């Protein structure tokens, strides 16, 4: 129906390759989803069996990539060529109770990720300042600190205009080099002489690809700002 969009069974009007205008800014937005490296030491130290670390990380990445891919495919089938750079914008246009619930879940979901991402920050603050707090109040102080950090981020999101552009900018300029370029380069530096040609070629290819994605993501942010200005 008009204004409701398509579905997996009855997709909206789509193209084999498109809409390309959303691809550049999508690079930065997608990259942000893989920026949780600061949590790795904390997660590793909390594992009961450290030998399962590699399996846990591989599984987490597989689930994340599958969810990202599934949402992209279903979102494009539903809204077709009207798909915005953020699927939440399309959902906000709908007047349907089910999608209202979906929007609420979409808003609540980042709270868990934000809390996990900020865990190292919270641990650092606790180690620096909470030792001055009486032991009986230390648990309450920890809970208040982590709650304030989470809602502080939410307040920034609500106040900063065009937050998706800020997020895409951070993803393109910082997340891609830190999450893709540097790991490949460092691994090649220390273990390049031990690995085969095929694995080395993959790592070099990923590093080169990341260097291409950075300017593409930045151009997407600038282009979106230009479109809004017009």
Q: To the nearest whole number, what is the mean pLDDT of the chain?
A: 79
Give the per-residue pLDDT at 175.
85
Give me the percent of the chain exceeding a pLDDT of 90: 11
Answering whether pTM is above 0.75, one says no
Q: Which residue has the higher pLDDT, 36 or 181?
A: 181
Residue 1 in this model has a pLDDT that exceeds 50: no
Q: Could you give the CA distance from residue 108 to residue 48 in angstroms, rounded to a whole number?
A: 29
Are 5 and 90 spatial neighbours (Cβ–Cβ below 8 Å)?
A: yes
What's residue 211's pLDDT? 92
Residues 81 and 76: their CA atoms lie apart, in Å, by 7
The pLDDT value recorded for residue 198 is 93
pLDDT digits 0-9 by tens, 61-98: 898 889 888 888 887 888 877 777 677 777 777 766 66
Buried/exposed code over 195-207 (b: 16+ C-beta within 10 A; e: otherwise): eeeeebeebeeeb
Closest by alpha carbon to 118, among 165, 164, 152? 152
Query: φ, ψ for residue 69 (rounded to 5)?
Result: -60, -40
Distance CA(86)–CA(88), nearest Å, equals 5
Judged against a pLDDT cut of 70, whether residue 132 lies above it is answered with yes
Residues 6+ apart with CB under 8 A from 199: none
Confidence of residue 230 (pLDDT cuts 50, 70, 90): low
- Write phi, then psi, for 147 (nearest 5 degrees): -65, -45
Phi, then psi, of 193 in degrees rounded to 5:
-80, -10
Q: Which has more pLDDT, 170 or 117?
A: 170
pLDDT value, residue 229: 55
> Percentage of the chain with pLDDT > 70?
79
pLDDT category, 209, cuts 50, 70, 90?
Answer: very high
- pLDDT tens figures, 49-64: 888 888 888 898 898 8
pLDDT at 227: 58
């Amino acid at each position: 129906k008009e204004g409701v969009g398509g579905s997996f069974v009855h997709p909206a009007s789509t193209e084999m390759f498109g809409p390309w205008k959303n691809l550049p800014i999508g690079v930065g937005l997608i990259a942000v989803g893989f920026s949780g490296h600061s949590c790795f030491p904390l997660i590793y130290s909390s594992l009961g069996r450290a030998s399962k670390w590699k399996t846990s990380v591989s599984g987490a990445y597989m689930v994340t990539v599958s969810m990202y891919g599934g949402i992209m495919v279903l979102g494009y089938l539903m809204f077709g060529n009207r798909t915005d750079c953020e699927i939440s914008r399309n959902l906000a246009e709908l007047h349907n109770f089910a999608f209202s619930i979906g929007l609420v879940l979409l808003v609540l979901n980042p709270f868990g990720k934000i809390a996990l991402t900020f865990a190292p920050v919270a641990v650092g603050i606790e180690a620096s300042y909470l030792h001055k707090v009486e032991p009986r109040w230390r648990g309450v102080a920890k809970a208040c600190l982590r709650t304030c950090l989470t809602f502080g981020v939410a307040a920034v999101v609500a106040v900063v205009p065009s937050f998706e552009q800020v997020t895409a900018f951070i993803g393109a300029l910082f997340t891609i080099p830190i999450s893709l370029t540097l790991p490949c380069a460092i691994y090649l530096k220390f273990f390049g002489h031990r690995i085969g040609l095929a694995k080395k070629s993959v790592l070099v290819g990923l590093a080169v690809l990341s260097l291409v994605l950075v300017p593409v993501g930045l151009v997407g942010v600038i282009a979106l700002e230009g479109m809004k200005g017009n």
